[in-house]
């Protein structure tokens, strides 16, 4: 608690600036253990596993590939249908609506992207070139799915790493789910950022980037005159590339949560150029290396938030800003969190950012 000079730590409710209906309780008081720590994963570092359906040479253990890169010879990245899709083809039964129980067909697409032929490799161990290929494939497949059916309102790309994060197969992979509804988390960001832009005439994500890069302030206690909080230039910045920045959100739901955003305003991930993708890959690799250095073996999810497709979102081009959210799972959510929707963070976001920024990865 260096900046606060307060052994009691921070205990405050922080409002998410983008979605003000969401808030986070930051409670860092020493000795306070409101949450149980999540297990770290035993790294499976094997390059090849004979029984793994995602390893090269075991292609017959998955349904036929939807696509592979390169499309002949040894693949580097491969997309296959999910064997246990949460959404799938149209069901033949009519959906029955009863009273308040409204239902829409669970129509959609669920695919698995095998990130790399190497079984146990993790993100920051992949080459920048490979990561750029992988991110480019995310982009290409998203575009194809949007184009395939106008009923698909959102294509979510995400990754689960570790059993607590929902990964059932240890071989490195990502997933794509195309849904006939816009997920609530994305819709909330779209709606609130549009409202912000209507009020203030600018994209709130751009404003947050500007603040993170330039803001400096000291907040004093009115009675005692003691320093309550110091905000330093770059306090929330973890990694900066030519075109991307990795930021620790001020109101982080997860202790080690990090967001990566393009520095220049861009609403839709599909608009990113290949130069953008190359820098995105570099910033992602370095950010994941920092995370591994500071909290090694951490289980995590990451997911892309991008402007949904459809006419109703055309007027959000200036107010929405795509990003990747990395959510390490270092503690187990409690009944309090699930019941209230108020996430509890036991690490101060400022200290987490400092530790990540100072990690020696070169
Ligand atoms: Zn494997
Ligand atoms: Zn913006
Ligand atoms: Zn988001």
Say which CATH number the domain at 150 has: 3.30.428.10
In a domain, 43, yes or no: no
Shortest-distance ligand to the CA of residue 172: 1
Q: Which helix (H) or strand (E) holds 132?
A: helix 128-148
Shortest-distance ligand to the CA of residue 50: 1
Cα–ligand 3 centroid distance for 232 (angstroms): 24
The predicted structure's pLDDT at residue 3? 44
Mean pLDDT computed over every residue of the chain: 89
Which of residues 122, 144, 179 is at a domain's end? 179
**Same-domain pairing of 249 and 345:** yes
- Tell me, yes or no, if the pTM score tops 0.95: no
Mean pLDDT of 236-261: 95
pLDDT-derived band at 95 (thresholds 50, 70, 90) equals: low
**Same-domain pairing of 298 and 191:** yes
**Same-domain pairing of 168 and 278:** no
pLDDT at 38 over 50: yes
Cα–ligand 2 centroid distance for 261 (angstroms): 9
Give the integer Cα–Cα distance in Å for 351 and 362: 21
Give the integer Cα–Cα distance in Å for 328 and 291: 9
Summarize pLDDT for 299-354 with one digit per residue, the tens. 999 999 999 998 999 999 999 999 999 999 988 888 888 898 889 998 999 999 99
**Same-domain pairing of 170 and 295:** no
pLDDT-derived band at 36 (thresholds 50, 70, 90) equals: confident
pLDDT at 43 over 90: no
Among 54-63, 227-236, 291-300, whose mean pLDDT is lowest? 227-236
pLDDT at 6 over 60: no
Contact 3, 321 (CB under 8 A): no
pLDDT at 2 over 60: no
Shortest-distance ligand to the CA of residue 48: 1
In a domain, 322, yes or no: yes
In a domain, 50, yes or no: no
Strand 154-161, strand 173-179: pairing: antiparallel
**Same-domain pairing of 335 and 220:** yes
pLDDT at 104 over 80: no
Q: Enumerate residues with CB within 5 Å of ligand 3 (an ion).
A: 305
**Same-domain pairing of 147 and 280:** no
Give the integer Cα–Cα distance in Å for 203 and 210: 11
Give the integer Cα–Cα distance in Å for 107 and 95: 12
Cα–ligand 2 centroid distance for 96 (angstroms): 41
Neighbouring C-beta atoms of residue 213, cutoff 10 Å: 15
Q: Enumerate residues with CB within 5 Å of ligand 1 (an ion).
A: 49, 52, 54-55, 119, 171
pLDDT at 94 over 70: no
The predicted structure's pLDDT at residue 83? 82
In a domain, 2, yes or no: no
Q: At a CB cut-off of 8 Å and minimum separation 6, what does 327 contact? A: 253, 254, 257, 300, 301, 302, 303
Cα–ligand 1 centroid distance for 33 (angstroms): 37
In a domain, 92, yes or no: no
Phi, psi (degrees; rounded to nearest 5) at 210: -60, -45
**Same-domain pairing of 199 and 224:** yes
Shortest-distance ligand to the CA of residue 171: 1
More confident residue, 155 or 33: 155
Give the integer Cα–Cα distance in Å for 203 and 265: 8
**Same-domain pairing of 317 and 345:** yes
In a domain, 201, yes or no: yes
Shortest-distance ligand to the CA of residue 56: 1
Contact 11, 31 (CB under 8 A): no
Within 13 Å, how many C-alpha atoms sit on residue 353's CB side?
24
CB under 8 A, 24+ apart: contacts of 186-190? 186/154, 186/156, 186/305, 186/308, 187/308, 188/19, 188/21, 188/22, 189/18, 189/19, 189/305, 189/320, 190/307, 190/308, 190/313, 190/316, 190/319, 190/320
CB under 8 A, 24+ apart: contacts of 214-220? none
| Token pair listed for 164 | 């607590």
Residue-number span of the structural domain to which 129 is assigned:
59-86+103-179
Cα–ligand 2 centroid distance for 136 (angstroms): 21
Report the percent of the chain where pLDDT is more than 90: 64
In the block, tokens 């995602």 appear at: 54
Rg over CA atoms, the chain: 21
The separation between CA 51 and the C-alpha centre of its own chain, rounded to angstroms, equals 30
Among 82-96, 181-195, 204-218, whose mean pLDDT is lowest? 82-96
Mean pLDDT of 177-203: 96
The predicted structure's pLDDT at residue 5? 43
| SS3 state of residue 315 | helix
Cα–ligand 3 centroid distance for 356 (angstroms): 21
Domain count across the chain: 2
In a domain, 324, yes or no: yes
Cα–ligand 3 centroid distance for 120 (angstroms): 28
């Amino acid at each position: 608690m260096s900046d606060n000079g307060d052994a009691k730590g921070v205990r405050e409710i922080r409002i998410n600036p983008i979605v003000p209906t969401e808030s986070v309780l930051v409670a860092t008081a020493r000795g306070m253990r409101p949450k149980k720590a999540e297990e770290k994963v035993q790294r499976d570092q094997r390059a090849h596993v004979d029984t793994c359906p995602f390893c090269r040479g075991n292609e017959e253990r998955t349904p036929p590939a939807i696509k592979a890169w390169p499309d002949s010879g040894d693949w580097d990245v491969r997309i296959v249908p999910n064997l246990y899709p949460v959404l799938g083809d149209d069901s033949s039964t009519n959906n029955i609506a009863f009273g308040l129980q409204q239902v829409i067909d669970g129509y959609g697409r669920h695919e698995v992207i095998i990130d790399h032929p190497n079984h146990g490799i993790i993100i920051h161990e992949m080459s920048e070139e490979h990561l750029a290929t992988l991110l480019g494939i995310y982009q290409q497949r998203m575009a194809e799915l949007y184009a395939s059916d106008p009923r698909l309102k959102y294509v979510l790309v995400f990754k689960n790493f570790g059993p607590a994060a929902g990964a059932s197969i240890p071989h490195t992979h990502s997933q794509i789910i195309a849904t006939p509804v816009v997920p609530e988390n994305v819709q909330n960001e779209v709606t609130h950022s549009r409202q912000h832009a209507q009020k203030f005439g600018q994209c709130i994500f751009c404003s947050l980037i500007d603040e993170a890069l330039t803001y400096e302030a000291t907040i004093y206690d009115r009675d005692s005159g003691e320093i309550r909080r110091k905000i330093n230039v770059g306090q929330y910045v973890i990694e900066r590339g030519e075109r991307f920045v990795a930021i620790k959100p001020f109101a982080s739901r997860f202790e080690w949560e990090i967001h990566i955003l393009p520095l220049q305003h861009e609403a839709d991930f599909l608009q990113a150029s290949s130069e953008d993708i190359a820098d995105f890959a570099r910033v992602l690799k370095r950010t994941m290396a920092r995370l591994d250095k500071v909290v090694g073996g951490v289980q995590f999810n990451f997911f892309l938030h991008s402007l949904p497709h459809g006419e109703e979102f055309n007027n959000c081009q200036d107010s929405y800003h795509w990003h990747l959210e990395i959510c390490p799972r270092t503690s187990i959510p409690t009944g309090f969190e699930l019941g209230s929707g108020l996430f509890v963070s036991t690490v101060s976001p400022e200290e987490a950012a400092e530790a990540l920024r100072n990690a020696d990865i070169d």
